[in-house]
Amino acid sequence: MDLPVIESPSPKAGGCSAGSCGSTADQMGGMSDAIRAKVQDHPCYSEDAHHYFARMHVAVAPACNIQCHYCNRKYDCANESRPGVVSELLTPDQAVKKTLAVAATIPQMTVLGIAGPGDPLANPERTFETFRQLAAKAPDIKLCVSTNGLSLPQHVEELSKHNIDHVTITINCVDPDVGAKIYPWIFWNNKRIHGREAAAILIAQQQKGLEMLTAKGILVKVNSVLIPGVNDEHLKEVSKIVKAKGAFLHNVMPLIAEAEHGTFYGVMGQRSPRPAELKALQDACEGDMNMMRHCRQCRADAVGLLGEDRGDEFTLDKIEAMEIDYEAAMAVRAELRAKVTAELEAKRAKAHAPAAPQVVQFMPRATKALREFPEGRTALAPVGRRVLMAVAAKGGLVAVHFGHAKEFLVYEASAEGAKFVGHRKAEQYCAGDETCGDGESVLDKTIKALVDCEVVLCSKIGYEPWGSLEAAGIQPNGEHALEPIEEAVMAVWQEMLAAGKLDAPPVAAKRA
């Protein structure tokens, strides 16, 4: 792969700082070519790939060896999407059948993960039997696993045998005093151990497992749950430590806590972080680590593109009725994968081509500043402030009607380009007004979720939400329908700059 601009950013590249131009370059900027090649078609590891490639989780691992305060294993609600929740537990044989059926039906499928509903490594026989069969029957599917880390060290050897080159460890802390507020107990050496002692053992095992995996060249992503008042500040230290030990990506996710989930945090009234708090922490960690911003915290039986679950199409009875020609499906998939990979490479090359036209044309001042201060850009204040914009997107384009959007992607636009910084749900986890019944409409909730954004880009928008958004200080914009997200975001930013809207701070109300 020839991407010289990423490897050696040059200020002469027309104002496009390679380290932060576009989401992909930003997220993957710190990765070696070898790692980038490994993750470029993995929807969970590559922000770009998740628009094109799909994944699935098979729920073969019901048992768990620890308790987390954000988890309750009793409940399965079909309307809910959160880790640890499944509708149908599978045997390894059923899981293999389901994987082959999904891979034949959804050619974008590239990755099979085992993530629960318990801990995959607390169910080693079921987990490894599934991997064994799939490595033989579906050799083109990447296999990955997500674990709490307690049993990780003893299974590293076996993991490396199954061609599993991606492992995710959930690490919420490196300090047992913090851990004691997150983990009430673990099962260890035939005993249930509580409190600080339990957390200390868990932390030691996680760190040891991380070191063993990276020593073997297995890619490790670290997941952390951001729990306000418990580990928020602490996660900055976690990020530094896991990077030093060789993790290639850090995914800080917001705590999900509702009383109806029956979790400790939900029942005890622990609040979830606000979107701006999550973003601030991710920004703070980013100096040290590649941060992942597009995680949808999916269920342990999720199927399809991130954020578009198709699990209902692949229940056990439906799979039984399917006829699958896996050889043919594999050929279709190989073709599609090659096509998308070529598209992504072209897109990447274009984003980093010297003298990127959109920046040079519209930004004479910024370009001049860069030419005059090639080494010390901080010497001059950047022209035009940063603006957050929400995008109703599909497939990398501004392509969704405002009222139909289930989520919005949030981009930070600045002289340096458009940077993906997160996503916001347009609906709550439950079905809506009638079941949640707190008098707040879906529109009110959406506006609240987008409160720090100044613009919302969508393909179309109705009269009523237009007025409500404007009243809330968020400018709706339907003029860039079907344009690639980054181009649309930068075009709007340039318009704002030209109109003199970026010299002043955002409307006072937005700061509140």
Partner 1 sequence: MALEIIESCVNCFACAPLCPNQAIYEAKPHFLIDADKCTECLGDFADAQCVAICPIEGAILDELGTEMNPPGSLTGIPPERWAAAQAEIAAR
Q: Please, what is the minimum distance in Å from the beta carbon of residue 230 to partner 1?
A: 13
Q: Which stretch binds partner 1 (CB under 8 A): 57-65, 198-206, 294-302, 462-470?
A: 57-65
Binder among 191, 318, 368, 460 for partner 1 (CB under 8 A): 191
Geometric angle at alpha carbon 350, from 349 and 351, rounded to 5°: 95
Does 429 bind partner 1 (CB under 8 A)? Our answer is no
Yes or no: say if 283 and 412 are a contact pair by the CB < 8 Å rule.
no
Does 197 bind partner 1 (CB under 8 A)? Our answer is no
Binder among 11, 19, 30, 73 for partner 1 (CB under 8 A): 73
- Which are the contacts of 98, defined by CB distance < 8 A and separation ≥ 6? 56, 58, 90, 314, 316, 319
- Which are the contacts of 33, defined by CB distance < 8 A and separation ≥ 6? 1, 3
Binder among 160, 187, 208, 347 for partner 1 (CB under 8 A): 187
Does 430 bind partner 1 (CB under 8 A)? Our answer is no
Tokens of 470: 């404007």
Q: Which stretch binds partner 1 (CB under 8 A): 119-127, 240-248, 318-326, 411-419?
A: 119-127
- CB burial of residue 345 (10 Å; 0-12, 13-18, 19+): middle
Q: Which is nearer to partner 1, 19 or 124 (CB)?
A: 124
# chain residues binding partner 1, by CB under 8 A = 27
Does 63 bind partner 1 (CB under 8 A)? Our answer is yes
Binder among 38, 57, 69, 377 for partner 1 (CB under 8 A): 69
Q: Which of residues 434-463 bind partner 1 (CB under 8 A)?
A: 437
Does 242 bind partner 1 (CB under 8 A)? Our answer is no
β-sheet bridge partners, residue 252: 224
Does 211 bind partner 1 (CB under 8 A)? Our answer is no
Does 123 bind partner 1 (CB under 8 A)? Our answer is yes
- Which are the contacts of 52, defined by CB distance < 8 A and separation ≥ 6? 43, 108, 340, 343, 344, 395, 396
Does 184 bind partner 1 (CB under 8 A)? Our answer is yes
Instruction: Give DSSP secondary structure letters for 345-372.
Output: HHHHHHHTSTT-HHHHHH-HHHHHHHHH
Q: Please, what is the minimum distance in Å from the beta carbon of residue 111 to partner 1?
A: 25
- Which are the contacts of 250, defined by CB distance < 8 A and separation ≥ 6? 221, 222, 224, 239, 242, 243, 285, 289, 290, 291, 292
Secondary structure of residue 66 in the 3-state scheme: strand
Amino acid, single-letter form, for residue 102 = V
Q: Which of residues 261-300 bind partner 1 (CB under 8 A)?
A: 264, 266-268
Give residues in contact with partner 1 (CB under 8 A). Answer: 62-65, 67, 69, 72-74, 89, 118, 122-123, 125, 184-185, 187, 190-192, 259-260, 264, 266-268, 437
